[in-house]
Structure 1
Amino acid sequence: MKAIKILLTIALTYFIGLSGTAQKTMLLSKGTVHVGNGKVINQGLIGIKGNKIILVDNALTHNLDPTLWDTIIDLKGLDVYPGFFAPNSKLGLTEIDAVRATRDFREVGTYNPHVRSLTAYNAESEIIGTVKTNGVLYTQATPEGGIISGTSSIMSLNAWNWEDAVIKKDDGIHLNWPSTAVGGNWNSSSPTKKSNDNYSSRLKEIRAFFEAALSYSETKDLFDPRFEAMRELFKGEKRLYIHADEMRALLDIIDFQRELEIKFPVIIGGYDAYKVADQLNAYNIPVMIKGGHTLPSNEDDPIDLPYRLPYLLKEAGVLFCIQNSGRMETMNTRNIPFLAGTAMAYGLTEEEAISAISLNTAKILGIEKLAGSIEEGKLATLFVNKGTPLDMRSNNLILGMVNGAFIDLTNVQTKLYDKYKSKYENEK
């Protein structure tokens, strides 16, 4: 293992030295390539030029000419994975949840489609470093609060600033659908769930706003910043991310998007999505499902239902990905690969679990031509691992790359580990 690290360090140092000259080429050779689309290439070759992948092939069948490459790194015995995604995330928008001054993911007001997370994104967040070391290399910076929270953007996790980080700006608007039930939570005054008496009135209010926005999109005589942000939604240039879980809400959402002709709706949460899979498939509505490290939502649910949801959606043919919204989600972003590992333990194959946090996410976000898998023409965002990144017991990320540039794998946690490790070693 030490020899591998020395070899990679030498190659990395050499390639960084070349980075000042444009369009240098590099070949990652003979690693096991997990493409992200379900395919695995043993002894794979990955050719990189600039920030793009220009070659993906099998070393056993490819007629390799070493003179075509400025740098060749031998990865025999190691595994290569596409960069993982953290969709629906406050990563980069908050640093310490308990400190109000570091929280920049919520604005006052109820309907804020014009509020953009893009310019609030902090590329220098200390938390980002702890996430990259587990292979999470992209995030969807997502606002919260109100009925319409605002507009998210897709960012890479290796950048100088938000301008440098953006992969797709203003990718979609986030709508918090009203809950059809109230109570039943540990912090609720009602120990059991009951119908939400305000659900119908809230739904009428949302529909009225969208109908007004639709009418506005058909005229050029007025200017309203809220409705202006909605214009691209009705053109199909933005997605509508609808946060909802209950079956009745999901059925109402299907009717809502059909009647208003929303071209790219996405469900975020979707706890009951497996119950309405046929309807979701009929209208091509994908789901960003919450990772399974949680308790069931209903008293009569099987105890393992949150763990089996990815498998149930896969069996039903619903396009889905895994996200980790909830309490302490920002710092727990690093655990997204392990959420996929749990889904693997409850029915998904290893490659299906990898797709659930890579290519599937890219498809749902609409950037599958740029990212999400290790394929020719896509951005060179990937990482090399000794072991599997889906299991915290064997996860050992050796090198990472974002848009063709190697990334620093140290962070505040690794620095503290090394600091105190040396302290106690010196005391022996």
Structure 2
Amino acid sequence: MKTISYTFLILIASVTSVYGQKKHNKILLESATLHIGNGLVISTGSIGIENGVITLVKNTLAYTYNKSDWDTIINLSGHHLYPGFVAPNSTLGLTEIDAVRASRDFYEMGTFNPHVRAQIAYNCESDVIETVRTNGVLMIQTTPRGGRISGQSSLMNSSCWNWEDGTVKADDGIHIEWPSAYSRNWGDPITKPNETYEDQKRELIAYLTNAKASTNIKDKNTPIQYSALSDCFTGEKRFYFHANEIQQINDILDLITEMEIKFPVIVGGSESYLVADRLKIKKVPVMIGRLHSLPQHDDDPVDLPYKLPFLLQQAGVQFCLQNEGDMEAMNARNLPFLAGTAMSYGLTEEEAIRSITLSACEIMGISKNYGSIEIGKKATLFGSIGSALEMKGNQASVILINGEFVPTTNFQTDLYKKYKTKYGK
């Protein structure tokens, strides 16, 4: 194939036109600032991609090549290249319009639903995913909600033909909503102890104990709910414990020890900094809740949510960022800006990037192939005109998922261009 050199102006049009139609087997992205994802940065770097896999990471100034060696060469001088950002613990792909019940497919009836699988409900045609992808979010841990045990999440690409094609890792873990030790009525400023907390905790632990007891029993009469949990107890899948309060986290850590759970993860963890030493000793990572939130308690410092990543980083606790909360599917596009906030409150730029790339992949068990720009990993990455952690700078110039070009536009940018011409601009 004849070598193709792109200027930036024709790059976006070319990428859009070849989406899903043309194969680019050998691609060279040159002269960009490379944010590797593992803390390293190359100020002027080149990335070589062959058949969807990264085969070359070099300093452009120290690398010479023959143009005939590459099918496609893209000069990204002045741009930034990042590993694809990862959105953990998200209903993205399971909901389209939160106010329309028929478009919400993340909630199941019942208390214990470990057998529910988000993977097969993932909607690749979602317009919301399209708008999130152009901000650099290229992988999603699509996650069910509801009940005490919500079900199984799966890691999905943000561009695909169907859920089979989009699956990065199926059924990576089971999500448990740990009962809250405290309660607060709407409009009441006083937090009160949850009088039924111990009963709720005993009920959940009894369920997990029974499920573990049936792990090695091959009986067709074993309830499907128990069978679904067996891989978590053998260490093939992760337990994601959703909890924020110190009482919850301490009780979870006790359960982890008692039941010998191999891969536990705390999701939320607003007060995790108070038990950071225990988390570090037990090597339990935290998926930190939405940073753009109010503090958990009225007497907490107002900037505590912003500083939480830095506090855990200083304590040596592994963490990544996630965006659970109101309108979380749509707001997943703000994931890079959560990392930007963490950068403003203590993290370095590369540490902030790691919190939404490699650290997330390590926690979810896919770092062998994703999360950083390193030789041997899948070419799931994107370029941005400016810093992707800033709203003005986050403008996608090129997007690749598993080495395939993906459009850098969405229906919102198309409408912007359409109506911009109305006034002759």
Amino acid aligned to 1:219: I
- The residue number in structure 2 matching 1:339 is 338
User: TM-score, normalization: structure 1?
Assistant: 0.95
What is the count of residue pairs matched by the alignment? 419
- The residue number in structure 1 matching 2:165 is 164
Instruction: Give the Cα–Cα distance (whole angstroms) in 2 for the partners of residues 309 and 161 of structure 1.
Output: 37
Q: How does 1:6-85 map to 2 (within 5 A)?
A: 6-9=9-12, 12=15, 19-20=22-23, 24-85=25-86
Unaligned runs of 5+ in 2: 1-5
**CA contact under 8 A between 2:8 and 2:76: conserved in structure 1?**
no
| Distance 1:18-1:194 versus aligned 2 partners, 3 A rule | closer
| Distance 1:10-1:245 versus aligned 2 partners, 3 A rule | closer
Instruction: Give the Cα–Cα distance (whole angstroms) in 2 for the partners of residues 259 and 383 of structure 1.
Output: 43
- The residue number in structure 1 matching 2:96 is 95
| Distance 1:421-1:15 versus aligned 2 partners, 3 A rule | closer
- The residue number in structure 2 matching 1:125 is 126
Instruction: Give the Cα–Cα distance (whole angstroms) in 1 for the partners of residues 372 and 223 of structure 2.
Output: 39
Instruction: Give the Cα–Cα distance (whole angstroms) in 1 for the partners of residues 341 and 277 of structure 2.
Output: 25
Deviation at 1:14, TM superposition (A): 9.3
Deviation at 1:169, TM superposition (A): 0.0
Encode CA deviations 1:111-170: one digit per residue, 9 max, x unaligned: 000000010000000001110111011000000000000000000011001000000000
Q: How does 1:316-331 map to 2 (within 5 A)?
A: 316-331=315-330
1:397 equivalent to 2:409? Answer no
Which shifted more, 92-101 or 39-48?
Answer: 39-48
- The residue number in structure 2 matching 1:219 is 217
Deviation at 1:341, TM superposition (A): 0.4
**CA contact under 8 A between 1:291 and 1:340: conserved in structure 2?**
no
**CA contact under 8 A between 1:11 and 1:71: conserved in structure 2?**
no
> Identity across aligned pairs (percent)?
52
Q: How does 1:130-145 map to 2 (within 5 A)?
A: 130-145=131-146
SS at match of 1:391: coil
Which shifted more, 58-67 or 363-372?
Answer: 58-67
**CA contact under 8 A between 1:18 and 1:24: conserved in structure 2?**
no
| Distance 1:219-1:48 versus aligned 2 partners, 3 A rule | same
Amino acid aligned to 1:397: A
**CA contact under 8 A between 2:388 and 2:394: conserved in structure 1?**
yes
Instruction: Give the Cα–Cα distance (whole angstroms) in 2 for the partners of residues 118 and 206 of structure 1.
Output: 25
- The residue number in structure 2 matching 1:107 is 108
Deviation at 1:191, TM superposition (A): 2.2
Which shifted more, 60-69 or 93-102?
Answer: 60-69
Amino acid aligned to 1:62: Y
SS at match of 2:328: coil
- The residue number in structure 2 matching 1:350 is 349
- The residue number in structure 1 matching 2:306 is 307
1:206 equivalent to 2:207? Answer no
Instruction: Give the Cα–Cα distance (whole angstroms) in 1 for the partners of residues 78 and 298 of structure 2.
Output: 47
Encode CA deviations 1:7-33: one digit per residue, 9 max, x unaligned: 42476489769934xx72111111110
Instruction: Give the Cα–Cα distance (whole angstroms) in 2 for the partners of residues 12 and 174 of structure 1.
Output: 37
| Distance 1:95-1:193 versus aligned 2 partners, 3 A rule | same
Amino acid aligned to 1:371: Y
Amino acid aligned to 1:261: E
| Distance 1:207-1:307 versus aligned 2 partners, 3 A rule | same
Instruction: Give the Cα–Cα distance (whole angstroms) in 1 for the partners of residues 20 and 134 of structure 2.
Output: 23
Deviation at 1:50, TM superposition (A): 1.3
**CA contact under 8 A between 1:15 and 1:71: conserved in structure 2?**
no
**CA contact under 8 A between 2:90 and 2:324: conserved in structure 1?**
yes
1:413 equivalent to 2:412? Answer yes
Encode CA deviations 1:348-390: one digit per residue, 9 max, x unaligned: 1110110010001000110000111111111111111111011
Deviation at 1:53, TM superposition (A): 0.8
- The residue number in structure 1 matching 2:263 is 264
| Distance 1:9-1:189 versus aligned 2 partners, 3 A rule | closer
| Distance 1:285-1:324 versus aligned 2 partners, 3 A rule | same
Which shifted more, 60-69 or 236-245?
Answer: 60-69
Instruction: Give the Cα–Cα distance (whole angstroms) in 2 for the partners of residues 189 and 19 of structure 1.
Output: 57
Amino acid aligned to 2:333: R
Deviation at 1:178, TM superposition (A): 0.5
Deviation at 1:425, TM superposition (A): 2.3
**CA contact under 8 A between 2:237 and 2:263: conserved in structure 1?**
yes
Instruction: Give the Cα–Cα distance (whole angstroms) in 2 for the partners of residues 422 and 61 of structure 1.
Output: 44
Deviation at 1:410, TM superposition (A): 2.0
